[in-house]
Chain A
């Protein structure tokens, strides 16, 4: 298992940096294009949540990215230093009355594009998102 940790600023540029880092690792262990696209979207949505909703673009707060390669999977952890987040507080974007809401679809897309997804309280604060994508399931 090879783990790479990256400390990122709370900017939209960091979203691109994280996506590039994760996709590089995913290519190394053999994910194909459609899976790479899905992984990239999951990372992008998680990073946007961390930068925009978690750290609120605060330049004193960082986003902690961890990418761990195994032969059959990629594990990505994205943690912010915000005030914490309850995923159950997000209205279900698939409910009829919510279909025309402008926002609130990020978690839905992440869940659709990775095999495992957890939202945990960060330590000591903030929110930690853990995602796993399996090579065999994805292919």
Chain B
């Protein structure tokens, strides 16, 4: 399955729920388009929930980094929630743990934006 992605509002934080595979092609582009759209519409607090994401390749990682840059350039913040062990491993291998704020718990993540 490719990626399924939706968003919801929790206070002033936009939570993006992703599920499936974020890989080169449709998966990565769907993800990119949604984050760019949210940033362009003025959403400045974006939390990406990756709890149901089973697979991310280097293109998917690239899209997350690009999304981080896009949101930051719009004066916002982008954080990550609910990483599986495999995705955590990827962030460690790529040293992106030093870039992203990562949370296991949604409430803590939401509060961190305040």
Looking at the assembled complex, report how far the CB atom of A109 sits from the nearest CB atom of chain B, in whole angstroms: 6
Rounded to whole angstroms, the CA-CA distance of A94 and B93 in the bound complex is 9
Range for the number of chain B residues in contact with chain A: 20 to 34
Interface of B is mostly: helix
B58 near A105 (CB under 8 angstroms)? yes
B40 contacts the other chain (CB 8 A): no
A105 near B62 (CB under 8 angstroms)? yes
Contact of B57 among A41, A100, A101, A102 (CB under 8 A): A41
Most A CB contacts (10 A, CB to CB) among B24, B86, B96 go to: B24
**A102-B95 contact given A37-B86, A44-B57, CB 8 Å threshold:** no
Report the count of interface residues on A (CB-CB < 8 A): 20
B114 contacts the other chain (CB 8 A): no
A70 contacts the other chain (CB 8 A): no
B99 near A103 (CB under 8 angstroms)? no
A45 contacts the other chain (CB 8 A): yes
- Residues of A participating in the B interface, judged by any CB pair closer than 8 Å: 12, 15, 37, 41, 44-45, 48, 52, 93-94, 99-103, 105-106, 108-109, 112
Smallest CB gap from B89: residue in A: A112
| Given A44-B23, A93-B94, 9 other A-B residues pairs in contact with their CB atoms under 8 A | A15-B24, A48-B24, A94-B95, A100-B65, A102-B66, A105-B58, A105-B61, A106-B58, A109-B90
**A45-B65 contact given A99-B99, A108-B94, CB 8 Å threshold:** no
A103 near B58 (CB under 8 angstroms)? yes
Smallest CB gap from A103: residue in B: B62
B residues 51-85 in Cβ contact with A at 8 Å: 55, 57-59, 61-63, 65-66, 68-69
B24 near A102 (CB under 8 angstroms)? no
Looking at the assembled complex, report how far the CB atom of A104 sits from the nearest CB atom of chain B, in whole angstroms: 8
Looking at the assembled complex, report how far the CB atom of B72 sits from the nearest CB atom of chain A, in whole angstroms: 9
Rounded to whole angstroms, the CA-CA distance of A12 and B26 in the bound complex is 11
